[in-house]
Amino acid sequence: MAILVYAEHDNQHLKSETSKLITAAQKMGGDIHLLVAGENVGDIAQDAAKISGVAKVIVADNNAYAHQLAENIADLVLELGKAYSHILAAATTTGKNFMPRVAALLDVAQISDIIDVESDDTFVRPIYAGNAIATVKTSDAIKVVTVRAAAFDAASAEGSAPIENVETVKLAEKSAFVSESLTESERPELTAADVIISGGRGMQNGENFKLLEGIADKLGAAIGASRAAVDAGFVPNDMQVGQTGKIVAPQLYIAVGISGAIQHLAGMKDSKIIVAINKDEEAPIFQVADYGLVGDLFEVLPELESSL
Amino acid sequence: MIVSRYYIVKRLSIEVKMKILVPVKRAIDYNVKVRVKPDNSAVDLTNTKMSINPFCEIAVEEAVRLKEKGVATEIVVVSIGDKACQEQIRTALALGADRGIQIDTDAQLDSLQIAKLLQKVVEEESPELVILGKQSIDSDNNQTGQMLAALTGMPQGTFASEVNVDDGKVNVTREIDGGLQTVQLTLPAVVTTDLRLNEPRYASLPNIMKAKRKPLDVKSAADFGVDLTSHVSVIKVTPPPQREGGIKVADVAELVEKLKNEAKVI
Ligand SMILES: Cc1cc2nc3c(=O)[nH]c(=O)nc-3n(C[C@H](O)[C@H](O)[C@H](O)COP(=O)(O)OP(=O)(O)OC[C@H]3O[C@@H](n4cnc5c(N)ncnc54)[C@H](O)[C@@H]3O)c2cc1C
């Protein structure tokens, strides 16, 4: 048995999801091979080789993989993956995009977004926005699985796996990359941050998110948002936390002006400590908060910033 | 001369006919709080309000807008399930789709079997565009569109927040973890919808009445020659661990004190 794990990266850095995937793979058992596909990913491959538990790093370095186009990546993973018992990727927008293609072309089911591993063929996954937890068993010879990285601890970085290059180039003709607009931020990424402060519709506008920035700076926090705040155009889509946004589990999550709809809770209720700041003492967010502060955020936030 | 006439005919035929296929799913209404059955076998759906899955509704709306813009000429909705899913097909017809297909089955199908059935529908209907919701809010799988694209050889644009069809191509702006990405696909293509693609309209009463008379074909899933056996068995379904309710703090000073000394997270 050997497991092929698809490394999550942005062509510049290996993402923290990758070492969490390795922990998930270790629970399935078997040699772990980590595939790094992208363009100019030499440094990323070096970092990947350091993750403890990785037996081999496979590098596919080609312009065809620069933008993680689903068609190209799926064909590459399909070709390499046939030799494995399991194929794993993070349940990120990259993994969600190409993995079902791999599953369909192998004629196997995909098990999406697992949060635990019971055995090599039995996995635990949330359904209904996390309001139910299903344990499922697959009968397929090759298990195609996406992993909710936030549910697993990161493997340490004490390894030194050999690196092997593959020359396979898969280039689909019917789809092409046009452009990308990526949010630049000095702050930690939402999915990697120890502390997150998120704003909702209660923030009233994008300008007011500055009130969160001072606090985020002091706590080294990432800034998130509810869907309502993104829909209203206060902040960009990549900040959305929830069932259809990012799933996070930081040490501390501070929800400001967020009511606590089930779809938002789905993305953050596994945080270690939850703080809610809301002027409505009946807001459902208080039911999951360890510490609730009923008050007007426009008074609370400046005071919080100055007392940190 | 003949060559140029052929060219004109070909262009015309592209412009006058563009069919969109929209697969829709009957799912629990997003406002309903789900309960797990006491025997931990599944989620209890008895007497639960069911609706068209929100992402599928966005897919229907997008197709209708493309028709209103003169880009699309016909919208076919398909749903796979027992007779009850005709209700969701009618909803889609009331929003502006032209005709419906119900693929009748009682079986609990996974995304792979759904995608294989849809592949057959694509072969029969030859749509230029298939628009699906990116996930259904019950199983939260996020697979069917991608699987369908892979099986049919169509290119895919997932998690779309903008769709522009032009001259045999579709540009899809995708919501990705780092921001936005735009890809260009050659038609026919598969698009899956994200939340911000559009805000679906409400069906008007006259349109709901009209929808009752729109054609709805019923076909048996068994007739498609697709292996419908699931590869996945559910061992159990349990409620999630409940969080202990916390406390209310009086002011910012108490909050900071608790976070420092009790929770030790700052
Ligand atoms: C299919 C589907 C998927 C979804 N996915 C997501 C998702 O991934 N993530 C997500 O977040 N949502 C998602 N939603 C939307 C979700 O249902 C809610 O609509 C959304 O989370 C509400 O955002 P909010 O809490 O910011 O806004 P509201 O519910 O409007 O709450 C605003 C809160 O701010 C408080 N407030 C207002 N002013 C102040 C003030 N001055 N001081 C203090 N408090 C104040 C109010 O008391 C209120 O509690 C989804 C919905 C659907 C149907």
User: What is the per-residue pLDDT for A142?
Assistant: 98
Is beta strand A132-138 parallel, antiparallel or unpaired with respect to B232-238? antiparallel
Mean pLDDT of A151-178: 97
Domain count, chain B: 1
CA distances from B180 to B70, B160, B162, B255 (A): 27, 9, 10, 37
**Tell me: the pLDDT tens digits for A216-254?**
999 999 999 999 999 999 999 999 999 999 999 999 999
Q: Write out the residue range of the structural domain in which residue B205 sits.
A: 2-237
Answer yes or no: is B259 within a domain. Answer: no
User: What is the per-residue pLDDT for B16?
Assistant: 60
Residue B159: count of CB within 10 angstroms of its CB: 29
Distance from CA of A108 to the nearest CA of B (A): 7
User: What is the per-residue pLDDT for A59?
Assistant: 98
Tell me which amino acid residue B54 is: P
Answer yes or no: is B243 within a domain. Answer: no
- Of all protein residues, the one whose alpha carbon is nearest to atom 15 of ligand 1 is A227
User: What is the per-residue pLDDT for B7?
Assistant: 47
C-beta of residue B198 within 8 angstroms of C-beta of residue B58: yes
Answer yes or no: is B171 within a domain. Answer: yes
The domain limits of chain A are 2-165, 190-307
Distance from CA of B77 to the nearest CA of A (A): 23
Give the relative orientation of helices B111-125 and A93-106 as an angle to the nearest 10 degrees. Answer: 80
A122 to B235: CB separation less than 8 angstroms, yes or no: yes
Compare CB distances from A137 to B149, B233, B256 and report the shortest one's residue. Answer: B233
Answer yes or no: is B163 within a domain. Answer: yes
Tell me which amino acid residue A301 is: L
A101 to B135: CB separation less than 8 angstroms, yes or no: no
User: Of the candidates A294, A192, A132, which has an alpha carbon nearest to the alpha carbon of residue B138?
Assistant: A132
What is the pTM for the complete model shown?
Answer: 0.95
User: What is the per-residue pLDDT for A133?
Assistant: 98
Percent of chain A with pLDDT over 70: 100
In CATH, what is the architecture of A2-165? 3-Layer(aba) Sandwich (3.40)
End-to-end CA separation in angstroms for chain A: 51
User: What is the per-residue pLDDT for A34?
Assistant: 98
User: Of the candidates B35, B85, B33, B31, which has an alpha carbon nearest to the alpha carbon of residue B56?
Assistant: B85
Ligand 1 pocket, A145 CB below 6 A? no
Classify the complex by whether its ipTM is higher than 0.95, answering yes or no.
yes
| Per-residue DSSP letter, A120 | T
Ligand 1 pocket, A246 CB below 6 A? no
C-beta of residue B141 within 8 angstroms of C-beta of residue B111: yes
A101 to B150: CB separation less than 8 angstroms, yes or no: yes
Percent of chain A with pLDDT over 90: 99
User: What is the per-residue pLDDT for B245?
Assistant: 80
Distance from CA of A213 to the nearest CA of B (A): 16
Domains A2-165 and A190-307 equal at CATH topology level? yes
Strands (E) located in A27-131? 31-38, 56-61, 86-90, 110-114, 116-119, 122-127
Distance from CA of A91 to the nearest CA of B (A): 10
- pLDDT mean across residues, chain A: 97
- Please report, for the domain that includes residue B39, its CATH number: 3.40.50.620
Answer yes or no: is B8 within a domain. Answer: yes
SS3 B164: strand
**Tell me: the pLDDT tens digits for A182-215?**
988 899 999 999 999 999 999 999 999 999 999 9
User: Of the candidates B20, B18, B24, which has an alpha carbon nearest to the alpha carbon of residue B144?
Assistant: B24
Answer yes or no: is B142 within a domain. Answer: yes
Mean pLDDT of A58-79: 98
Q: What is the pLDDT along chain B (266 residues), one digit of tens a residue?
A: 344 444 444 444 445 689 999 999 999 999 999 999 999 999 999 999 999 999 999 999 999 999 999 999 999 999 999 999 999 999 999 999 999 999 999 998 999 999 999 999 999 999 999 999 999 999 999 999 999 999 999 999 999 999 999 999 999 999 999 999 999 999 999 999 999 999 999 999 999 999 999 999 999 999 999 999 999 999 999 999 988 889 999 999 999 999 999 999 99
B155 to A138: CB separation less than 8 angstroms, yes or no: no
Q: Does A92 touch chain B (CB under 8 A)?
A: yes
* Alpha carbon distance A84, A6 (integer Å): 13
Cα–ligand 1 centroid distance for A285 (angstroms)? 10
* Alpha carbon distance A175, A75 (integer Å): 13
- Chain A hits for B144, CB-CB cut-off 8 Å, are 100
* Alpha carbon distance A298, A296 (integer Å): 5
Give φ, ψ of A203 to 5 degrees. -70, -20
Ligand 1 pocket, A297 CB below 6 A? yes
Question: Half-sphere exposure (CA, 13 Å, Cβ side) for B241?
Answer: 6
A71 to B156: CB separation less than 8 angstroms, yes or no: yes
Answer yes or no: is B257 within a domain. Answer: no
pLDDT at A261 over 90: yes
Q: What does the angle CA B224 – CA B229 – CA B233 come to, to the nearest 5 degrees? A: 150
Mean pLDDT of A49-78: 98
What superfamily in CATH does domain A190-307 come from?
TPP-binding domain (3.40.50.1220)
Answer yes or no: is B250 within a domain. Answer: no
* Alpha carbon distance A250, B222 (integer Å): 48
Q: Does A66 touch chain B (CB under 8 A)?
A: no
